[in-house]
Structure 1
Amino acid sequence: MSEAIATPRIHVSKTTPTPFTLRVSIGLMGVLIAVLVSGFNEHVTDIDLADIKGILGISYDEGTWFTAIYEAFQISAMAFAPWCSVTFSLRKFTITMISIFALMAFLAPFMPNLNSLYVLRSIQGFAGGSLPPMLMTVALRYLPPKIKIYGLGAYALTATCGPNLATSIAAYSFEYFGWKAVFWEAIPLSLLSIALIAYGIPQDPLRLERFRQFNWSGLLLGFPAISMIVIGLIQGDRLDWFNSPLICHLLVGGVFLFIMFLINEWFHPLPFFRIQMLKSCNLSFSLISLSVVLVLSVANMDLASSYLIEIREYRPLQLVPMTLIVAIPQLIALPLVAAFCNIKHVDCRWVLAGGLGLMILSSYGGTFITSDWYGGNFYLLQMLQVFGQPMAVISILMLATIGLAPTDGPFVSGMFNMLKGFSNIIAIGLISFMETWREHTHSHHLLDHYGSSHFVLANLNRHPESLQMLAKSVKDQATVLTIADINLVMIGIASVLLIFIPLVATRIYPPFLNNISKSNSPS
């Protein structure tokens, strides 16, 4: 069995390393643009979903499936795209997926009915989800050791800066160019990325012989498993979680199939995931850490946006300054953090701890929220994320990837990106669950308090119209208390991870000093 598992590695290692040149760097830039565009489109359509539903006549329930189907196919694709990139060649596969993605974006406004739009979104989701794994793959394969960490910083850009920039793109696309631009904004940059990749990424030979050992069982188990879990988490709050037979079947069945998928991957001679790699403490810890950091990042932005939209009735255009405060400075912070971590005497574990500390401090500040806050009150909390997120993500990527062979890139990128997608959905599900639960709890307590007040009851008897004002006041205050509660939960989750950093993770050195790390015992 061990010989069978090692077969793909031996075959791939015969590929001659490609020298890093200006032309290759242009190709890498094309892949980065493609991944950013994929992320932009995902978030832009979510942000402008209310306007899209109104224009197309889509109900609230139908709109949730508009998002759920896209996310399910996107995250599923992340698991299987690395195998496709090796088989069909990274260059051809990436260009094909970008082309399909752009074509679906162009056709979206012309769909004759909702079902056809669902089909289009599923195809676009699969194409968009196939792109993020390519960025980590090319960074591990082509970048020389001295600058490899900057490639990891570029990947971190897609996880931290990209989602925040999407709010600005969504706002300006809809407000100034109309609803069709919400879909079409992806087309120009997609065409640019195709040109850059076609010019810069070397063409590998096709390896269609891999189909002789194609992992059919992994595909038939993994694709529905991931899709079922994602849809269950997205639709869970709307359908009242396990009180809904549909959610029970999706989550329980999805988890069962996913466990079977992992067992299959362990024994298959040509797996999509090399599960044996999880024996590395640093890789396993990094995957868990990435999940926590992404949950914290999503919660930080979603809670602030939720408050401003629900309490202050902000439009997406009014959220732009707050999101740009996080996004734009990270264009400087990411390379600075990467350069800092590339120093021999810097232990990236403590950089990770520092990043988590800043994110915890941001969440702690959010616990002091009141109904009098406005957009400006969130600026300082968002600024803490500017360095906190890059410090955490780049350190995690270093812990996971330093010391891996280029041939391990497809396996690691598949695991990382699938988990990245899962983390975003878990964050949305967790926040939705806590918002519903805590808001109901606080609303009941507030209504009990007001109901026992003789002054309030007397005022309602004299002025019945004040009942509407009371209802709004209760809802606003319950929302504020809920946001404070969720911030406390985020602090607890991050603190647990902070404790485990020195206990689990081992010291690693920058890529060009990796030979030193092999002669040092874990500290």
Structure 2
Amino acid sequence: MRPKAGAATGYATLSLPVAIGLMGMLLASLLAIVNEHVTASALVDIQGALSIGHDDGTWLSALFEAGNVATMVFAPWFGITFTLKRFTIGAVLVTMCLGVLCPLAPNLPVLYALRILQGIAGGCLPPMLIIVALRYLPPKIKLYGLAGYALTATVGPALGTPLAALWIEYVNWRMTFLQVVPLGVVSCIAIHWGLPSDPLKLERFRSFNWTGLVTGFPAIAMLVVGLLQGDRLDWLNSDFIRVMLLGGTLLLAVFLVNEWFHPHRFFMLQMLSRRNFTHGLLTLAGAVVLLVGLAAIPGHYLVEVHGYRPLQAAPLSLLVAIPLLVTLPLTAAVLNLRSVDRRWILAGGLGLMATTCLLGSCMTSAWIRDNFYLLQSLQIAAQPMVIMSILMGVTTGLPPIEGPFASAMFNSLKTFSAAVATAFIEGMGTERERFHSNVLVDHLGNNPLIASRGIGAAHGLGQLAQRVHEQALVLTSADLYRVMGGLAVALLLLVTVLPVRIYPPWIATQPHSH
């Protein structure tokens, strides 16, 4: 028998229909994240197939991400208003339709519009998964449900390169867009059959927070566009980037002030008074930067230095993605023990990430894909330990009424941090590559032995320039690993001062972490 529609708590057991509905929500969230990362990984081939230049092509990702991140702030409110079941199915159907239309776009402006809309539709899905997990899962297995969400945040991005390689090399580039259709059909059927039907709450529109929407959505969209286009347009030397970053920051400030005082808010900033919640969000932001960096550095190095195609780089991603299907629920099982302090698990995961960065900082130009296997192997344990510990700290003891607020803040910060990480890696990578190139060229120019060998011939200069470029990329990658390592150590130190001990959700006598 299904749980009574509209119940928020008190689910002592998990019925088969609700379990299937939760699986549908998991597939919907995974669909959104895989769609985002596959199209990003296959962007060069998509640009080639559609005859789109590099600069124009960068907007395909930037506009998608802007809509995606900005929507996550407001999706939980609309999900509660239109009901989780109807809203999620609607968002999946829109994502599927836009996936079919994108390869058929007659021109670039239409494709831009479709990608913005698909980013908005996709941004509605991950926040729904957390709300449903907190609402319907019994306390004994709540951490396993959160492991499902962690799977979308870790395995989803890792599947981007392998799936892009599969579609591009063996099927057709259009599948990078069309892949959402079969997964979307299955998720819609599962959600429709499994989740209870709540009544619509359209009366909530009478007190709708219009100020929050008209300031928050453009604020976040402008900041994301400014971050993702900053390196290409030379950051604050560009009038456009200055407008995006400054205007977005000012609008965001107005949005946050409004959210503090508005009675019908999208963000409940007062929740930051809880030490574990604040620590969870701070660590989440840093952990996302680490995850993006540790995935991007080897991929960029192998492509730029050794000319790898996505198919050749795919084993690195699969090495992490497949074992995570086992290590995530195992980590949940460990955290579900009363005797385990999740702060130690979090510290262990951050320590493994710091070790990964230390090993990576020793890389040389002789490194190929095989040299990164050990580094990636450490992530099999590190990522679940970090992500699951954060999720447990943020959600344990959370009153049901605050679930949508936690979901909005958690998901929007996660995706915004990914944009910050991308901008940071690109910006620092460009600056360090220029620095190392200048140092190497100065060193060569001051070397009389090289000058006496007559390397001024065009062929010789071409080879030398290529070697300098490759060595600068190697040194830049090592620098990025060192920075990521410093961030991991900083997050590790934060564990010792901010969070307090909490117990698994099934323990009724857990202390409040204020």
Q: TM-score, normalised by structure 2?
A: 0.97
Q: Does 1:385 align with 2:359?
A: no
Q: 2:174 matched to which residue of 1?
A: 180
Partners of 2:188 and 2:6 in 1: CA distance: 27
Alignment of 1:137-148 (within 5 A): 137-148=131-142
Structure 1 range deviating more: 379-388 or 497-506: 497-506
Q: 2:235 matched to which residue of 1?
A: 241
Structure 1 range deviating more: 16-25 or 231-240: 16-25
1:136 to 126, 130, 137: 130
1:516 Cα offset (Å): 3.5
Partners of 2:510 and 2:122 in 1: CA distance: 39
Q: Is the 8 A contact 1:403 1:514 kept in 2?
A: no
Q: Does 1:409 align with 2:403?
A: yes
Q: Secondary structure at the match of 2:191?
A: helix
Partners of 2:450 and 2:16 in 1: CA distance: 72
Alignment CA distance shift 1:462-1:437 (3 Å): closer
1:515 Cα offset (Å): 1.5
2:186 to 182, 192, 197: 192
Alignment CA distance shift 1:515-1:187 (3 Å): same
Alignment CA distance shift 1:103-1:341 (3 Å): same
| Structure 2 portions without partners, runs of 5+ | none
Partners of 1:375 and 1:103 in 2: CA distance: 37
Q: 2:285 matched to which residue of 1?
A: 291
Q: Does 1:349 align with 2:321?
A: no
Q: Secondary structure at the match of 2:500?
A: coil
Q: 1:371 matched to which residue of 2?
A: 365
Q: 1:88 matched to which residue of 2?
A: 82
Q: Which runs of 4+ in 1 moved over 3 A?
A: 12-19, 460-464
Q: 2:474 matched to which residue of 1?
A: 480
Alignment of 1:290-329 (within 5 A): 290-329=284-323
Q: 1:4 matched to which residue of 2?
A: none
Q: Is the 8 A contact 1:402 1:514 kept in 2?
A: no
Q: Secondary structure at the match of 2:106?
A: coil
Partners of 1:516 and 1:410 in 2: CA distance: 22
Q: Deviations over 1:39-95 (max 9, x none)?
A: 111011111111111111111111111111100000011110000010000000000
Query: In the alignment, residue 396 of structure 1 is paired with which amino acid?
Result: I
Q: Deviations over 1:80-127 (max 9, x none)?
A: 000001000000000000000000001111111100111111111000
Q: Is the 8 A contact 1:13 1:407 kept in 2?
A: no
Partners of 1:407 and 1:461 in 2: CA distance: 71
1:13 Cα offset (Å): 9.2
Q: Does 1:225 align with 2:185?
A: no
Q: Is the 8 A contact 1:106 1:184 kept in 2?
A: yes
Q: Is the 8 A contact 1:141 1:407 kept in 2?
A: no
1:458 Cα offset (Å): 2.7
Q: 2:66 matched to which residue of 1?
A: 72
Percent of aligned positions that are identical: 50
Q: 1:124 matched to which residue of 2?
A: 118
1:456 Cα offset (Å): 1.7
1:466 to 460, 464, 485: 460
Q: 1:282 matched to which residue of 2?
A: 276
1:461 Cα offset (Å): 4.3
1:151 to 120, 145, 150: 145
Q: 1:112 matched to which residue of 2?
A: 106
Structure 1 range deviating more: 84-93 or 405-414: 405-414
Q: Does 1:102 align with 2:85?
A: no
Query: In the alignment, residue 262 of structure 2 is paired with which amino acid?
Result: H
1:17 Cα offset (Å): 5.1
Alignment CA distance shift 1:399-1:434 (3 Å): same
Q: Secondary structure at the match of 2:182?
A: helix
Q: Is the 8 A contact 2:28 2:92 kept in 1?
A: yes
1:20 Cα offset (Å): 2.7
Q: 1:504 matched to which residue of 2?
A: 498
Partners of 2:474 and 2:206 in 1: CA distance: 58
Partners of 1:461 and 1:239 in 2: CA distance: 34
Q: 1:6 matched to which residue of 2?
A: none
Structure 1 range deviating more: 462-471 or 304-313: 462-471
1:455 Cα offset (Å): 2.2
Query: In the alignment, residue 136 of structure 1 is paired with which amino acid?
Result: I
Query: In the alignment, residue 346 of structure 2 is paired with which amino acid?
Result: L
Q: 1:434 matched to which residue of 2?
A: 428
Query: In the alignment, residue 365 of structure 1 is paired with which amino acid?
Result: L
Q: Secondary structure at the match of 1:517?
A: coil
Q: Is the 8 A contact 1:443 1:474 kept in 2?
A: yes
Alignment of 1:155-170 (within 5 A): 155-170=149-164
Query: In the alignment, residue 183 of structure 1 is paired with which amino acid?
Result: F
Q: Deviations over 1:160-205 (max 9, x none)?
A: 1111112111110111111111111111001100000001111110
Q: Secondary structure at the match of 1:378?
A: helix
Query: In the alignment, residue 29 of structure 1 is paired with which amino acid?
Result: M
| Structure 1 portions without partners, runs of 5+ | 1-11
Q: Is the 8 A contact 2:433 2:476 kept in 1?
A: yes
1:359 to 353, 367, 370: 353
Query: In the alignment, residue 309 of structure 1 is paired with which amino acid?
Result: V
Q: Is the 8 A contact 1:141 1:406 kept in 2?
A: yes
Partners of 2:337 and 2:31 in 1: CA distance: 32
Alignment CA distance shift 1:168-1:456 (3 Å): same
1:16 Cα offset (Å): 7.0
Alignment of 1:20-31 (within 5 A): 20-31=14-25
1:432 Cα offset (Å): 0.5
Alignment of 1:9-48 (within 5 A): 20-48=14-42
> How many residue pairs are counted as aligned between the two chains?
509
Alignment of 1:46-57 (within 5 A): 46-57=40-51
Query: In the alignment, residue 304 of structure 1 is paired with which amino acid?
Result: P
Query: In the alignment, residue 288 of structure 1 is paired with which amino acid?
Result: L
Partners of 2:409 and 2:121 in 1: CA distance: 17
1:517 Cα offset (Å): 2.9
Q: Is the 8 A contact 1:460 1:467 kept in 2?
A: no
Q: Is the 8 A contact 1:367 1:483 kept in 2?
A: yes
RMSD between superposed Cα atoms in Å = 1.4
Partners of 2:178 and 2:266 in 1: CA distance: 33
Q: Secondary structure at the match of 1:384?
A: helix
Partners of 1:364 and 1:421 in 2: CA distance: 26
Alignment CA distance shift 1:461-1:371 (3 Å): closer
Query: In the alignment, residue 19 of structure 2 is paired with which amino acid?
Result: S
Q: 2:417 matched to which residue of 1?
A: 423
Q: Does 1:396 align with 2:390?
A: yes
Alignment CA distance shift 1:448-1:200 (3 Å): same
Query: In the alignment, residue 24 of structure 1 is paired with which amino acid?
Result: V
Query: In the alignment, residue 270 of structure 2 is paired with which amino acid?
Result: Q
Query: In the alignment, residue 131 of structure 1 is paired with which amino acid?
Result: L
Q: Is the 8 A contact 2:9 2:136 kept in 1?
A: no
Partners of 1:145 and 1:355 in 2: CA distance: 24
Alignment CA distance shift 1:460-1:47 (3 Å): farther
Query: In the alignment, residue 140 of structure 2 is paired with which amino acid?
Result: K
Q: Is the 8 A contact 2:6 2:198 kept in 1?
A: no
1:209 Cα offset (Å): 0.5
Alignment CA distance shift 1:461-1:356 (3 Å): closer
Query: In the alignment, residue 372 of structure 1 is paired with which amino acid?
Result: A
Q: TM-score, normalised by structure 1?
A: 0.95
Partners of 2:316 and 2:241 in 1: CA distance: 35
